Structure 1
C-alpha cells in the first residue's frame, strides 16, 4: 500500500496519514454558499481535494472512502439576493447548485459521496446547540444562542491566536448581549420575511459555523480523518467548528488531519472586481477555456502555495494536453505508474506528479493515460475540446505580421497606428499579452477573421 503523507495544519507538520479505519476513510470539505456563480478561487479547493479524494480511493479502494462536501443554503447573502431580485430563496439556491454542479463537472471534479444542504440538517444543529447549552458552553441572549469562547481554554490554538489579542485587535462594534466580544452566534432570530425555524430560543436560523459541525457529525461521526478547505476558513470558521464540536463531544478528536489550500492570484494580483480581474469558472468556460485546462493550471502549483492564474499558463497547459491526448490516442490505459503515485502521495505534490507525467509522455503512453486519469486529466469524456484544431497557419502568420507592424509603429512613435492595432486585435477577438519574455496571444471564442484581415 502506497504511504500517504499530508501536512496537518493542526500540528503544523507533515505526518504519515493513518486512517481511523482503513475500511472507512472519511473526509469533509467546506463547500459553497449558493447565491451566485462560483468564481475561479472557489474552484481551487474543489480541484485540490478532488485530487486527494481520487488518491485515497486509489490507495484504500473506491468503496472505502466517504467524501462529504456541503452546500450552505441558508445565509444572509442569499436573503439579500432574494430581496433584491424578488425571487424565492429555494429557486435561487436550486439554480445556483445546478450551476455549481455544471461548472465543477466541467473541471473534472467527481461528485462527493454526499452533498448535504444546511436546510436539511436544522434539527441536528438545534440538537447540537442544546448539548452545548446544557454543558455550559453556550448561552441564550435576546433570541440568540451564543458560544462561550472562555469555556473552551484551547480556543485560538488551532489558528495560533490568543483570545485577548483578538479582542485587543478588534475593530468592530460588539453586540451588547454578548458575555465576551469573541463569543460567536450559533442561532439568531429571523424576521417574518427571513427564513426561520422554531427552536428553544425562538423562531430563527443557524449561524454559519454550527452547520458544518452538525453535518460532519451526522454523516461522518464524532471523529473522522480529514477536514479541508481554503486557508481563509482557518479562522474563524474552522477554529469555531473545533471549539463547538470538541465541547459537545469531548471524547472525540473531531477531525484528526486538517488541510488548507492557499489563495488564488490572477496575473500576479489578488482577484478583485475593482481591478477588473475577477471572473467566474463559467466566464472562462464561455470564453473557450476547456475545463481540463483550468484543472491542469490549478494542479501546476502545490496547494499549500498561492496559485497564480495567467493566460500564458493556460495556453501552455492547452498545448501540453493536446500533445498528450495525441500520444494516447488509440492506446489502452494500463495502471498508474508507481513512481508517479509515490510523488503524488507525498503531501499531494501535484506539481511533482505533473513532472512525472511529462516523463511518462516520453516513454509509456499507456501509463501516462492511467496516471493522468488518477489526477482527473485525459479522461475520455473530457477530450472533445482537443478535437477542435488550433488556429490555422495562415491566421498565425497574419497575427505575427500584424504584431511586427505594431512593434514597428511603437519604435517609430506612431502611437496612432499602434493603438489602432491594439484596439483592432481586441475587436477581432485576439487576446494579446506583452510579457518580459515576448508577446503572447490567443484566440477568444469571439474571434472574427474578417476584422483581423481588415487590420492589414
Structure 2
C-alpha cells in the first residue's frame, strides 16, 4: 500500500516524521499506518495522540477500518484496542506513485468510534493531478467528474443537468460539509429544480440551503467551518447612514442652486469686482464685500477649499476722470478767493444749465436731489445779494462767501468742468484722486474685518495687458476699430457658433439706458454713439479726448473701456476659466454680461466663469440708498454707531443673495443676538473658572445632559446642512441661537436645582460656537472661548490678565458685604452697590450678585454696559424690549421666563428671521 499523507492542503505523500502543526496518515507497510495529530491541526482541535491504523483486507471486511492506539487510551472492550469503524462510505483519495493534492475544500468530520479521532473525508470539488474520490476497495484508475466544467456552463438548465449527473455518484448524509465549489454552484442557482428527474440536485440543494440559508448568499454564516476547518468571522457591512450634503451655490448663470465642483480638486479660483474709487465707501460696498468675505471664509475654513481670491481696483473710469477734473478746477477757483460779486455772477451762470438739466431729469430720486441742491444754493446766495450791490466788505461778508462756496461746490464744479475740463492734461491729476480713495477703502475694509485679497489688481498697472487683450479680440473677428476707438461686435458674437450674448440677463439685451450707463458719462455723446455698428456694441478701447488721460496703443492714444478691464486682469491671473466670479446684483448687466462675451471671444470658449455669484441689494429703512433721500451712509458713519461685529451679525442673519434692509430694527436684532451670545460665553467662562477637582469635571450624565448633547449634535448637523445649502448663514445663525437658548434653559434648571451643570458639555458647545463665529468673521481676534475682551481692532485679550485681580476684588467685596449685613452697616452696603452699578461698568466690568451664590464676574464691552445702565434707568420701552430684560441670565432664571416647550427668543420659529426663498 502506498504511503498516504494528510495535511491542511489535502492529501500528500508524507515522510515518517510528524509534520509540525498538522496531522498525517502515513504507512509503514502495505497493512499498517499511523494517524498522528499535533496542535490545532487544520482546525481539528488539540492534539489527541497517535494512532496506528490497520486496513482490513477487502475480502474479509470491505469498507471497514481498524485503528490501534499506540500512545493514547480509549474505551475499547479490549485494552489498547478500538472497535471497528464501519462507515457506509469512507472516501480517501489515493494515488499510486504520484503526489496528489486536493485543494482546501472544507471537511467532513467523522468521529472515530471509541477513540474520538476525527477523520476527514473529501467531498465534491475540483481535483488536481487526476486525484480520485473512491470508496474503499474501488478501482483507483477511474477519474472523478470535475466541477470546473460544470461551473463554466452559461445556460442554467444545462448546468443543472450536468450537476445532477455529477451528484448521482455522491452520497449526502448527516454531517455533510460544504466545499467552495458547492457554494459557487449553489449561488448560481435561482432555486431548486422543478424537474422531478433532477432529484439529485434537489436533495443536494436542500442540504446546502439548510446551511447557507438562501441561494446566492453573500457569505457563509457565523460558525460555519471553512474548507480548512477554521471558524470564520460573520459577514460585516457598513452602516447605511445618509447621503452626505454637497455644497450648492446659487449660480446666476442658471438662476438655481448648483452643486459646487471646482475645476482643479480642492483649489478654487475666484475673481471679485472691486470698487471704482472716486468717493467714500458706503454701506452698499459693505453689503457686497462683507458678504463675499463670509463666503470666502466658509469655503476656506469650513469646507477646506484652497481659495485663490483676486480683486481689482478700478482707477481709470469716466466717473474718476470727471470727479478728478472737477476737484482740481474747483480748488483752483477757491484759491483765487473770488469776491462776493464775482462769486454771485458765477453761481447765477452755473444755475442756468443746472436748471435746464433739472427740467430734463425724469428720475424722481435724482430730480429730488437736484431740487434740494438748487434750493440750498439760492438760500446761501440771498444774504450776499444786497451787500454785493452796495459794495460792502468785511469779515461777516467773507464768512457768507465761504458758506456759499461750500453749498455751491457741486454746482460750480460741474460748471467749471464744462468750461475748462478739456484744458486738464496732467495724468497725475487723474491718479491722485483714486489713490486717496483706495487707501480709504482699504481702511474701511480693515475696520470691517474683511480679509484682504490674495492679489489686488489696478487698471492703471495692467494697461499693456489690456491692449494685448483687445488686439486678440479684434484678430479673432469679434472687435472692430472706429474713429480711433475699438468696439465689441455683439451681433457677430451672438451669431457665432458656440457663443451666446447676455447669459446672465438675456431679457435686458438691447436696454439702451443700461448700456449707456455702462459706457460712462463721457462716452455717450452722439458722436461716440454714431461710431458703433450696432447700438448694443460696447467700447473695448476709447480714443481719448482733450482733458482725459491717455496711453499709447496701435489705434492711437486712448484709455481702456470699463468692461475690458476686469476681463484682461482676471484672464491674466486665472486663465481661460475660473471657478467663481462675484459682484453686486446691479453689475449683472451690462458689466458682467459684457465681461463674459469679450472673455469668451478672447479664449474662444463658452465657460470663462463656472459659477457667478451676485450679492443682494441694500436698502436703508426700506428705501433705496440715495443722497436725495438723505440716507446715504458711509462705512465710517456706520462704524460710529455700531461695531464691525454688530454689522457682520446683521449681515449673517440675512441671505447673502437677497436684499438686506439696514435699519434700526435690523441693527437692534443684531444687538440682541450679540447680547445673547456674549452672555452665554460669559456664563460658561464663569463656570469654568470655578475651582473643581479633576474628577469632578466629569460627573455622571443624567437625562438633561443626554438631551442637551443630542440637541448639540442635531444643531451641528443642521448648521452643516444650512451651510451646504448656498451658505445659508441665516438658517445657521438661527440654529446656533436656538442651541444657546437650550443651554441657557439647561443652566437655569441646574441652578434652580442647586446642581452643577456639566462643565465639559457646556465647554464643548461654547468652543463650537466660538469656532463657527470665527469662521464667519464675527470674532476678530484670537480667543479661546467667546468674544475677546480687548475690544475690536485690538490684538490683546485682557481677560487672562485682568480676571484674577477682579476675582480677588469680588471675594473681598463679598466678605465686606457679609460683615456689613452681620453688623447692620447700610452705608457699607451702599458703597458696595455703587462699586457694582456705577464704578465698575465704566471700566467694562460687571458684577452679578446672586442670593446664596458667589458673585459672577464678567468682562463686557464698556459701551454695552453703559447702554444697559441707561436702559435700566429709563425702564422698559414702549416699542422695544430691553436687551437685558430679554436675554440676561443674571436677572431672572430662564425657567421662570420660558414655559416648558416654548420657543427661545430668536429661535427657528422667530418670525423676525424667516428662512425666505433660496
Q: What's the TM-score, normalizing by structure 2?
A: 0.41
The separation in 2 between residues aligned to 1:367 and 1:118, in whole angstroms, is 42
How many aligned positions are there? 403
1:210 matches 2:532: no
The separation in 1 between residues aligned to 2:514 and 2:264, in whole angstroms, is 42
The offset of 1:392, in angstroms, is 5.5
The separation in 1 between residues aligned to 2:546 and 2:515, in whole angstroms, is 32
Q: What's the TM-score, normalizing by structure 1?
A: 0.81
What is residue 438 of structure 1 aligned with on the other side? Answer: 879
What is residue 773 of structure 2 aligned with on the other side? Answer: 372
The offset of 1:237, in angstroms, is 0.2
After superposition, give the CA deviation of every residue in 1:197-227 in whole Å (9 maximum; x if it has no partner): 1011111110100011111111111101011
Contact kept? 1:357, 1:371, Cα under 8 Å: no
The offset of 1:35, in angstroms, is 0.9
The offset of 1:304, in angstroms, is 2.3
Contact kept? 2:579, 2:610, Cα under 8 Å: yes
The verdict on how the C-alpha distance between 1:327 and 1:144 changes in structure 2, with shifts beyond 3 A counting, is same
Secondary structure of the equivalent of 1:110? Answer: coil
Contact kept? 1:222, 1:252, Cα under 8 Å: no
Counterpart selection for 1:19 from 262, 265, 270: 262
What is residue 321 of structure 2 aligned with on the other side? Answer: 79
Gaps (5+ residues) in structure 1? 404-436, 443-456
What is residue 396 of structure 1 aligned with on the other side? Answer: 871
Contact kept? 1:23, 1:60, Cα under 8 Å: no
1:121 matches 2:470: no
Gaps (5+ residues) in structure 2? 1-243, 329-427, 495-499, 517-523, 689-712, 744-764, 793-859, 884-918
Secondary structure of the equivalent of 1:161? Answer: helix
Counterpart selection for 1:349 from 728, 749, 755: 728
The separation in 2 between residues aligned to 1:170 and 1:290, in whole angstroms, is 38
What is residue 431 of structure 1 aligned with on the other side? Answer: none
Contact kept? 2:514, 2:589, Cα under 8 Å: no
The separation in 1 between residues aligned to 2:679 and 2:463, in whole angstroms, is 51
Please identify the structure whose Cα radius of gyration is greater. 2
The offset of 1:98, in angstroms, is 1.6
The verdict on how the C-alpha distance between 1:2 and 1:376 changes in structure 2, with shifts beyond 3 A counting, is farther
Secondary structure of the equivalent of 2:456? Answer: coil
What is residue 254 of structure 1 aligned with on the other side? Answer: 608
The offset of 1:192, in angstroms, is 4.8
Bigger relative contact order (CA 8 A; separation at least 6): 1
What is residue 406 of structure 1 aligned with on the other side? Answer: none
Contact kept? 2:485, 2:542, Cα under 8 Å: yes
Which range moved further: 336-345 or 367-376?
Answer: 336-345
What is residue 670 of structure 2 aligned with on the other side? Answer: 317
1:51 matches 2:298: no
Matches within 5 A, 1:295-306: 295-306=648-659
Q: CA RMSD in A?
A: 2.8
The separation in 1 between residues aligned to 2:651 and 2:268, in whole angstroms, is 25
What is residue 245 of structure 1 aligned with on the other side? Answer: 599
The separation in 1 between residues aligned to 2:525 and 2:547, in whole angstroms, is 25
Which range moved further: 103-112 or 32-41?
Answer: 103-112
The verdict on how the C-alpha distance between 1:129 and 1:297 changes in structure 2, with shifts beyond 3 A counting, is same
What is residue 480 of structure 2 aligned with on the other side? Answer: 139
What is residue 387 of structure 1 aligned with on the other side? Answer: 861
The offset of 1:168, in angstroms, is 11
The offset of 1:395, in angstroms, is 3.1
After superposition, give the CA deviation of every residue in 1:249-293 in whole Å (9 maximum; x if it has no partner): 1135100111111211111111111111111111111x3311111
The verdict on how the C-alpha distance between 1:200 and 1:365 changes in structure 2, with shifts beyond 3 A counting, is same
What is residue 294 of structure 1 aligned with on the other side? Answer: 647
The verdict on how the C-alpha distance between 1:240 and 1:326 changes in structure 2, with shifts beyond 3 A counting, is same
The verdict on how the C-alpha distance between 1:93 and 1:2 changes in structure 2, with shifts beyond 3 A counting, is farther
Is the strand fraction higher in 1 or 2?
A: 1
The separation in 1 between residues aligned to 2:541 and 2:455, in whole angstroms, is 25
Counterpart selection for 2:504 from 146, 153, 158: 158
The separation in 1 between residues aligned to 2:869 and 2:678, in whole angstroms, is 24
